[in-house]
Amino acid sequence: MIGSLNRFFGSLQSLVATADTMVADGGLPAKSDWSGFFDAWGSSKTSAGIAVTQESAMTSATVYACTQAIAETVGSLPGLVYESVDDRNRERAKRHRVYSLLHDSPNPLMNALTFYEMGTMRALNRGNFFAEIERNGRDEPIALWPIHPSRVKAWRMPGGELEYHVYTDQADRDNPEGFGYYVIPRRDMFNLPGFGSDGVIGRGVISFAMQEIGLDIATQRYGSTWFGNGARPGGLVKHPSYIDDDERRQIFRDDMNSLHGGMENWNKLGILWHGVEYQQLAVNAEEAQFLGTRELQAKTICRFYKVPPAMVQIYDEFKFGSVDAMLRTFTTMTIRPWAVRWESAIRQQLLHTLASNGELVPVFAEELSFEFLMNALLRGDAKTQAEANAILRNWGVMNADEWRAQENMNPIPGGVGEHYLVPSAHTTIDRMVSGDIGRNTGGAGVKGPEFNKAWIAALCKLAGDGAATHEDQPAAARIITDEYREKLEAAEAARLAAETAAREALSSRLEFITESLNEIATRLNRKEANEVMKIARKDSRQLFTALDDYYERFAGVFSNAVDRSCTAYLAAIADSGTTTDQVVAAWIAAHQSELLSAAECQPEQLLGRMTSVTDGWRDCTFTKWLDSHLHDGNLGEQ
């Protein structure tokens, strides 16, 4: 533990400037054979004249935003370890230490989000993420300590085995490279290689996109210089006489630059003496449009990272109606490959270990697996998540209690929520199975259409419905025995309990929606009242023309503000025939009608009557008004 801590803190100190991730091989490819490969990793200048390193690349806003979008998204995914219960079922392996290691805290100094975020960022940009595996006496991993990839070299030994040399800050005269190092065997090093990997060493996006990043940084610096010089090109100063003294010429030039150069001297008045004239050079159109170059470079860098431009705040040619499609593309094409890359590396290197014969063997007696919970990406969109869960619920994939658990709600009392729905009949599986109910009822079983009719009649009879026809009664009598009557009564009790729980949940949700809707509407009511009174005080002669113009704009503002809350409220009270647009139209029409009534007075009374009307708006509760109009049934007439 102490050794791992020292190594971890050592990796955070000054890095080896020339050491980069590489594979060397005694007797196989010589180090010189990799020279072209490492030139791409170093800090050689690009065609734009900019030296791009791993650190300088992150000063590009697009590189930073793309890296952040991918790394933070992967880091936010819950990592879960499962153990097999039998051939078909599995459960979360919470009793295993490796579960908390990968789900909560890989080491005492880091949480899981920071670990996966750092690992993804390094593998994405540098090509590899390395972490030393600390093990206990049973060979089980108990901690993962990240090591900066610039300090690591992978060496394939003459026997074919792989080991990692981790370089330190300490000088070592015995080492030709001048630095000390310690060796970590393959079994104790977690290695997440990025794209373009041979299984050991990957290449980061920065090495592939170096030319594009260099051009992006070059245009950024050009823009800084451009604005630093006042966004104007250089000019010429014509002096009526020749200044033959070099010192006097330099003084004159410095004076002109200090008085008129730079952003701080924009729009200042310039004064020229002794016949001096200023001649400005023409602006090159291409130079003045360098922002177009920056935009193009930003989009090109996004292609290297497979990140939609809108994810990094590039919104041109982007339609907000395509947000869901964009997020699905980002999740499927960008995040999922990284999630699978992590899952494969963890299963191979942490849930298995290298035996003495070179074979991978499971660390634990149970069969364990690791997965990221990709459903977590739906958390930000409640509507999408609810629709996905509804499909799973209706097709019998999940039950009500599993759904409630995702929403941090307790199970339905009495175990009712453990039942699964059968798609064909939308009933629970156990009740569908009891369709064999007529198989042995003291006589010949009732099956097929006759059974279904008898079953419906029996249900009607039990409920006192009277809908069962006379000819169905004999069949129903054979089915309704004491045993099955008890089953039906138990099912009815369970249904009532479920309805009670659902009503309680709906009541709680309705209370929240009502409060939210009233808060928004009250704020808008006050704003509307203030604006109406301003219009009334300004010009009473053009009052209604001005009000018509105002309400034409206000209708859209009000509709956008209450849309989500009003739609949720109408759904919660089971009103599917009314839309938010109808509600807003009725609300505004009611206010306009009140203003028209108030205007039927003498001019000197107008302000007083309109004040009385608008004061009433401030105290009005929106949902009470809406409920009364829905009850009267005149909302759709507006």
- How long is the chain? 638
Distance CA 460, CA 187 (A): 69
Contacts of 305 (CB under 8 A, 6+ apart): 66, 67, 69, 70, 124, 205, 334
Question: What are the boundaries of each domain within the chain?
Answer: 380-434
Location of structure tokens 């003084």: 251
How many other C-beta atoms are found inside a 10 Å radius of the C-beta of residue 318?
14
Residue pLDDT, tens place only, 558-577: 888 888 888 888 877 766 67
Distance CA 67, CA 559 (A): 38
pLDDT at 271 over 90: no
Distance CA 87, CA 80 (A): 19
Compute the chain's Rg from CA coordinates: 37
Q: What is the pTM of this model?
A: 0.55
Distance CA 226, CA 287 (A): 9
Distance CA 393, CA 420 (A): 7
Location of structure tokens 């085995």: 161
Distance CA 305, CA 361 (A): 35
Least Cα distance to 304 among 50, 48, 49, 57 occurs for 57
How many other C-beta atoms are found inside a 10 Å radius of the C-beta of residue 346?
24
With beta carbons less than 8 A apart as the criterion, state whether 122 and 150 touch: no
Q: What does pLDDT average to over the chain?
A: 75
With beta carbons less than 8 A apart as the criterion, state whether 81 and 106 touch: no
Least Cα distance to 24 among 191, 216, 158, 180 occurs for 158
DSSP string, 241-261: S----HHHHHHHHHHHHHHH-
Quote the pLDDT of residue 488.
66
> What average pLDDT does range 450-473 have in this prediction?
47
Distance CA 435, CA 445 (A): 11
Least Cα distance to 41 among 64, 60, 57 occurs for 57
Location of structure tokens 């015995």: 174
Q: What are the E-state strand segments in 119-217?
A: 128-135, 141-147, 152-156, 162-171, 179-185, 189-193
Residue pLDDT, tens place only, 173-212: 556 555 688 899 998 999 999 987 778 888 899 989 888 8
Residue pLDDT, tens place only, 52-82: 888 888 988 899 999 999 999 999 999 999 9
Residue pLDDT, tens place only, 390-405: 888 888 788 888 888 8
> Per DSSP, what are the bridge partners of residue 178?
none
Query: Which ranges of 272-381 would DSSP assign to H, the alpha helix?
Result: 285-288, 290-305, 323-329, 336-349
Residue pLDDT, tens place only, 111-137: 999 999 999 999 999 999 999 999 888
**Which tokens belong to 40?**
């791409």
- Which contiguous run of DSSP H or E holds residue 444? none
Residue pLDDT, tens place only, 312-368: 888 776 665 567 778 888 888 999 999 999 999 999 899 887 777 767 788 776 788
Instruction: Kindly indicate the confidence band of residue 104, based on its pLDDT and cuts at 50, 70 and 90.
Output: very high
Distance CA 233, CA 229 (A): 8
Q: What's phi and psi for 134, nearest 5 deg? A: -90, 130
Residue pLDDT, tens place only, 368-392: 889 998 876 766 566 777 888 888 8
Contacts of 625 (CB under 8 A, 6+ apart): 587, 590
